[in-house]
Amino acid sequence: MTIPRLSVLAFIISAQLTCAALAADAVPAKHAITHEDVWLMKRVGAPQPSPDGRWAVFSVTDPAYDSKEQWSDLWIKSLTDDTPARRLTFSKGSEGSVNWSPDSRQLIFIAKRDGDDAGQIYRIDVAGGGEAQRLTTLTLGARTPKFSPDGKQILFVSDIFPGNASEDDVKKTAKERKDRKYSARAYESFPPRYFDKWLDDKQVRLFVMDAATGAKPRDLLSGSKLAALPGFGGGQGDEGQSLDAIWAPDGNSIVFSASTNRDEQARNAAYTQLFSVPVTGGEATQLTADKHSYNNLKFSADGKTLFTLTEAEEPGKVYDVSRLASFAWPIASAAPKILTASLDRSITRYALPAGSNRVVFSFEYAGLEQLHSINYAGGDLRDEASLPTGSINSLNAGGKAVVGVWESAINPPEVYAFGNGAPKRLTAFNTARAAGIDWQAPEHFWFKASDGRMIYNMLIKPANFDPSKKYPLFAVIHGGAANMWRDQFVLRWNYHLLAQPGYVVLLTDYKGSTGYGEAFARAIQGDPLKGPADEINEAVDEAIKKYSYIDGSKLAAGGASYGGHLANWLQATTTRYKAIVSHAGEMDLMMQWGSSDSIWGREVNSGGPVWGDQAVWREQSPVLQGGNHAKGTGFTTPILISVGELDYRVPANNALMNFATQQRLQVPSKLLVFPDENHWILKGENSRYFYNEVHGWLAKYLK
């Protein structure tokens, strides 16, 4: 039988279409990013390599919209072969502050498990297996535990109440306070609150205990003159104060950084100096006495050098570059050796791989944070093997191994090994999900602003991008201002999720941003809002001119924190934008000075106290530009205002004043108040609602 030629052709075409369909089924079509993609990406914590360089342990959070369903556990990965990472703990409660024993067989970490009212120290036998054992049962919990050089003792930070000398005293005082019939707080020093917490009178202390169940911790600073100083304390964090303490190489003393003038924060910079205290307790010896602040202390493997990051607090300046420094140990001279004196960049993090006599470190520059190294003498600065884009967000060394977390805007965080050639990815928690998203890496560009500064920018394109089409532009402004946009995967203001409805997102590092040297960051001094906002406007102009697919008639701007300050300034001073989004944005410089948890830096930035004659307090407060409404030069753009009611960095009264101003001037405006959020929107459903509101607001005025 002969098959007609047309039938053969039809058969071939049909077969080709079938193969194409099968191929399409085999490779699923990519989709535009969703909130679920952003929120449900696994969150990979900083890896801690073992002292022998064979293993790395890190936390992985399995997110959920309902926080009760969220899990966070420790995982372990071999650094000597390609076996997959495996889960080490199985608990809904999170674990953190991981520290290895010197023999690389045991781990200690902080966790809050069933029966714990506060985070406690747990130990797990990695080599022998078994369940984690609780080592402490302290009323006020424990933080940042570290094994001694011989592995027999543990150093950690905890708190006491004023006048307490023992754990029994702490327990008794805690009960008395719980049983109080009044709820008032009383303060005699600044600040009374921090981000989303009212502070109390608990005092930070260093403790040492035997590395055994039931061992009794001892307070090393109990009764000392240092701890009795009214300004004694450490850096404030979410979990309390930190003294950044480490063991001296011989195990006979503890080296730590602390402030002695924390009580002066309303009128002066608080410095953190170096101290040491015997492991048996007693009086601390002050090792430095200068206008520097020291943090992130590490000893070299041979114990002969103490490394630290330091900032030389220059009086009257708003920003100081963080430099890598060292001291010969024991410290004979109080003056540090500045290893990166010739590098006009802030060192973000560093590691000390054994046997190399080099310090590996990272710093910010033009959207990236990548690896560099320098020798112990401060010479032979090198660029280490790095990925071509993206940012390193953690870095640690164990033995000769250097590990960290790398990410980019289109590569959510994963653990990597660095050194010995190209970086090597060790985990794949998010790679499959990321591969299904239709997204592009940021496009980078520079331009010269009218003030002569070179300004760096990133451009984010939406899914299904077509350069022949026209897209509205959304200028998103970073907070800080001492910060910069990074090529990284962001949870709270995810670049691609903001662009998803069909916008091009512009990210600009205005003056005041970090990553471009001390002078660039300090250029914001005396010009907190107008100058940076002018550069953002110029960046928008440059983007419109440079990229034909941007619709210059459809512009929006927005940001959070300092980005919210600038969004408010733009809304008050120009009519070029069709919509504004302001989260946690300052509305009045004077009100923000008096109601936030940080005032001295604001006073320095504006040139003097609010009662002085510095015009900036009035001339650069958005609310005081209200007269622009009548002139048609400001306060006409519809604005979406949002705030967390627990935000004490930019308190909610700023948002209330903003909304009152808009309503008074009859400007289209909407106020979102999150009663259970702080400076950031951290809860899943709140985050989803926030993004939906932002998208709805932009669509209303741009499409």
Q: What is the pLDDT of residue 27?
A: 54
pLDDT recorded at residue 530: 97
Higher pLDDT, 251 or 313: 251
What's the confidence (pLDDT) of residue 28? 67
What is the structure's pLDDT at 5? 37
| Whether pLDDT at 665 is above 80 | yes
pLDDT digits (tens, 9 = 90+) for 590-634: 999 999 988 999 999 999 999 999 999 999 999 999 999 999 999
Q: Quickly state the pLDDT bin for 384 (edges 50, 70, 90).
A: confident
Amino acid letter, 176: E
Each residue of 196-238: pLDDT tens digit?
999 999 999 999 999 999 999 999 999 999 999 999 999 888 8
Nearest to 36 by CA among 695, 699, 685, 694: 685
Beta carbons of 392 and 405 less than 8 angstroms apart: yes
Q: What is the distance between the alpha carbons of residues 249 and 328, in angstroms, rounded to a whole number?
A: 12
Task: Assign 21 a pLDDT band (cuts: 50, 70, 90).
Answer: very low
Q: pLDDT tens digit string along 25-83?
A: 455 689 999 999 999 999 999 999 999 999 999 999 999 999 889 999 999 999 999 99
For the cut 50, the answer to whether the pLDDT of residue 8 exceeds it is no
312: β partners: 292
Measured CA to CA, the distance from residue 659 to residue 671 in angstroms comes to 6
Instruction: Check residue 7 and give its pLDDT.
Output: 40
The two three-digit tokens of residue 511, written as one number: 């003056």
Identify the three-state secondary structure at position 238: coil
Q: Token pair of 353, please?
A: 């791989």
Per-residue pLDDT, 682:
95
Q: What are residue 330's phi and psi, to 5 degrees? A: -65, 150
Distance of CA 230 to the CA centre of its chain: 30
Quote the CA–CA distance of 28 and 40 in Å, as a whole number. Answer: 20
Angle at which helices 562-573 and 530-546 pack, to 10 degrees? 80
Would you state the pLDDT for residue 14?
43
What does the pLDDT look like over 444-453, one tens digit per residue? 999 999 999 9
Q: How confident is the model at residue 369 (pLDDT cuts 50, 70, 90)?
A: very high
Token pair for 195: 């981000």
Mean pLDDT over the full length of the chain: 93
Distance CA 196, CA 681 (A): 12
Cα dihedral: 516, 518, 520, 525 (round 10): 150
Instruction: Supply 578's token pair.
Output: 């069709």
Q: pLDDT grade, residue 1 (50/70/90)? A: very low
Q: Is 413 helix (H, G, I), strand (E, B) or coil?
A: strand
pLDDT tops 50 at residue 382: yes
- Reported pTM: 0.93
- Beta strands 550-560 and 579-583 are parallel
The answer to whether residue 6 scores a pLDDT higher than 70 is no
